[in-house]
Amino acid sequence: MRLTSLVVLTLLLLSGTIQADSARIEVKIRPGLVAEAEFWPGEVGRPAVMILHGFLSTRHFPTVRRLAESLAEEGFSVLTPTLTLGMSRRQQSVDCEALHIHAIEDDIEEVRAWVEWLNRHTDRPPVLVGHSAGGVQLTAFLDRYPGVPVERAMLISLSYFGEEQGRDRLEFLRARAEHDNQQRPTAMLPYALTYCSTYITTPPNLLSYLAWDKSRLQKALLDSDVPVEVIYGGNDERIDQVWVDALQSGGVPVHEVPGANHFFDLAHEFDLLDQILSAFDGGRHG
């Protein structure tokens, strides 16, 4: 995906899911592909925050939406983009069984466009917050573009690609996709990825996500020049506790919210907000 430099800011008379103090933002990714985000302008001197949703989801996902509104009420400038996944102005989550034409490199380039937009419009390096697989995509962005100004990253319910499949299934999927890539690299084929037992995409696209397994993600987090923190729920069944402990042993601050699940439901949304707010004054790793 090749990004253009054209960025369109659309301030609308807002209704429905858009609040009166927020604006819908558009970024032209390439001809025929436009990405959207929602933006809450904050108080002068307060941090700017970008929150990225989880896999195949949107900025309207409850975990992301509630956190964005809470941070906006605290005076932060908040941006919540929706990755296009190849579809202009995408508003809905994408089904596992749909045809997935996107690779993680596409996601990285869209993240870069939004980070640069937020930096320009707030005149300060943003704080990046990612939920679930959104944290992987943010880490991949930081790994690809270490020179882009970012203040810090906070990764919520972080899980690497292939975690749900397990080691044996992951290796089988990778070997099969590599074989398919030699035979028919443009074919749309059924695989599995994260919570999707059937995930239809091309071999190169699948391999782009599978490359961000536990080893690569751990290395990128430990080597990051940007301060990174991980927040997870004590009842999150998707979390690999041994892997999280290894991150903490390597110097990445890890914070547990007791009783919370992967999505930090209503009972724990304020606990999550407290962790995010306290992290702004926390120490740096590395």
CB 170 within 8 A of CB 212: no
Q: Give the pLDDT confidence score for residue 239 in this predicted structure.
A: 87
> Does residue 128 belong to any structural domain of this protein?
yes
pLDDT > 90? residue 14: no
**If pLDDT is split at 50, 70 and 90, which confidence band does 280 have?**
confident
Please name the residue that has the structure tokens 């960025």. 7
What does the pLDDT read at residue 282? 53
Condensed to tens digits (0 to 9), the pLDDT of residues 75-87 reads 999 999 999 999 9
The SS3 assignment for 230 reads: strand
Report if residue 49 sits inside a domain: yes
Q: Which long-range contacts (CB under 8 A, 24 or more apart) does 183-192 make?
A: 188/99, 192/165
C-beta separation of 158 from 230 below 8 A: yes
In this structure, are residues 88 and 59 in contact, taking their beta carbons and an 8 Å threshold? no
| Residue 276: pLDDT over 50 | yes
- Domain membership of residue 264 (yes or no) is yes
Q: What number of residues does the chain have?
A: 286
pLDDT at 281: 65
Work out the average pLDDT over 180-206: 97
- For the entire predicted model, the pTM comes to 0.91
232 in any annotated domain: yes
56 falls within a domain: yes
Q: Are strands 127-131 and 152-156 parallel, antiparallel or unpaired?
A: parallel
Our count of domains for the chain comes to 1
